[in-house]
Amino acid sequence: MGGKIMNRKLMLFLFLIQAIIFNITNVITPTYLSNLGLEKYHFGYFTALWSLGLLIGGPVWGTLGDLYGRKKFVVIGLLVYGVSQFVFFYTNNLYILIIFRMISGFGVGAPVTLLMSHLIAIVPKEKTAKYLGWRIGLLTFGTAVSYQISGLLGLKYTSELFLLQSILTIGFIILIFLIVKEEHHPHCLLPKQLNMFSSIKYLNLLNFQNTLFLVSITLTTMTFINVDKFLDVFVIDSGYNSLFLGNIKMIFGFVTIISSILIIPRIKKYLGNIYILQTLLVIMSIIVLITFSDKNVIVMLYTIFLLYIVGKSIYTTSEQVFLTNKVQKEDLGLFIGLRQSFTCLGMILGPIIGGHIYQSNKLNLFVFSVICLLTSSVILSIVQSISEGNLKVELKT
């Protein structure tokens, strides 16, 4: 029993290392692309293609892992990722970088999907929520630490960090071999849910308000990813170095952790209310508008924008509670699959549209983000008025 508990704790340690390695080039990416002479909108394409690769890879790796065992495919995915990151160190050809950016995201899909699946498989059912909570916390903490490390290194290095990432990936593979223990008997298949591709064909089964709710998810996703990714570019373009950006993102990470540990548990009885979701969207839109329209935007990032980080954390949790409470249990798999599809759409369209807007006028990107949040809030109002607070997946007859 003690060995099993230790193995679970070591699995959690892997998520910490995963977050540090995967995020160590994020701070220097805007500078790296700028040094290659690329346009600002290329950053949006790079983000979108990485997301697309990840979203395609998740279901593929998940299926292979369930059928033939997860460990080997985690290693294969990491090898794909490590090679892809080395290409970023080795070449500056735009077309090669674009291809390998998507391949990189595809490779990441293996550890992201399969390590979580393995954790669920080895943890007792009654402790699943606890361990998944720890996983999220360690991923957030690891990301914050990674931004600080890369911020320091980015003062002197840019493309070299991609080489470092490849080397660290090899070390991570060794840890996988040492820590992940799979049983030799036939693999235990987890309950299957619809993924982003297989669920799309069921979209016509949903009623109007359910479809509207999914559209609102796309809009909020577009905002969240655009504000997060183009904030990096904005800070660098404003004349600040990678260390400054790393410090900001590290603080954002710690604020998210504090919000998850101290704030969300104390307001959990209010979560899942559609009026709370609407209020959070309006508050976040106001904060984004104030922050990026102020001349002292850096001061705003260290003060009022921290409320946006808290609001985003609460909104994400509240939206998940809302779905769990309002969607009929027997239709939850269908709706979650469709939700993932619309989230994917936001992760791909957001950076592409945002990149072109930022290229034209960087402040307009954040105005666009505000419009997306407010439009999402209006859509939620329509959903509420139609369903009168009861979101259920009603199949058309």
The confidence band for 188, taking pLDDT boundaries of 50, 70 and 90, is: very low
Distance CA 320, CA 325 (A): 9
Distance CA 42, CA 233 (A): 11
Domain pair 1-183 / 195-397, same fold: yes
pLDDT of residue 332 exceeding 70, the answer is no
Distance CA 353, CA 368 (A): 10
Distance CA 146, CA 29 (A): 14
Per-residue pLDDT, 118: 82
The confidence band for 112, taking pLDDT boundaries of 50, 70 and 90, is: confident
Over residues 321-329, mean pLDDT? 65
Give the number of C-alpha atoms closer than 13 A to the C-alpha of residue 210, restricted to the C-beta side. Answer: 24
Distance CA 359, CA 225 (A): 17
Q: Which residues contact 143 (CB under 8 A, 6 or more apart)?
A: 19, 20, 23, 249, 253
Per-residue pLDDT, 298: 87
* Most confident among 193-197, 235-239, 329-333 (mean pLDDT): 235-239
Per-residue pLDDT, 27: 84
The rounded percent of the chain whose pLDDT value lies above 90 is 27
The better pLDDT of the pair 201, 268 is held by 268
The confidence band for 104, taking pLDDT boundaries of 50, 70 and 90, is: very high
The better pLDDT of the pair 233, 80 is held by 80
The better pLDDT of the pair 200, 251 is held by 251
- The pTM (predicted TM-score) of the whole model is 0.79
Per-residue pLDDT, 6: 61
H or E element at residue 343: helix 332-360
Q: Environment class of residue 219 by beta-carbon count within 10 Å: exposed (0-12), middle (13-18) or buried (19+)?
A: buried
Query: Which residues of 261-330 form beta strands (DSSP E)?
Result: none
Q: The CATH number of 195-397 is which of 1.10.10.60, 3.40.50.10190, 1.10.3290.10, 1.20.1250.20? A: 1.20.1250.20
Domain ranges of the chain: 1-183, 195-397
Fold of 1-183: Growth Hormone; Chain: A; (1.20.1250)
Q: Is the dihedral of CA 191, 217, 234, 352 positive or negative?
A: positive
Mean pLDDT across the chain, nearest whole number?
82
The better pLDDT of the pair 113, 186 is held by 113
pLDDT in tens, 238-293: 888 888 888 888 898 888 888 888 888 888 788 778 888 999 999 999 999 999 98
For the chain, counts of helices (H) and of strands (E): 14, 0
Q: How far is CA 169 from CA 8, 98, 110, 176, 179, in A?
A: 21, 21, 13, 10, 15
- What interhelical angle do 274-293 and 305-326 show, nearest 10? 160
The confidence band for 78, taking pLDDT boundaries of 50, 70 and 90, is: very high
Give the number of C-alpha atoms closer than 13 A to the C-alpha of residue 162, restricted to the C-beta side. Answer: 22
Q: What is the largest CA-CA distance in the chain?
A: 63
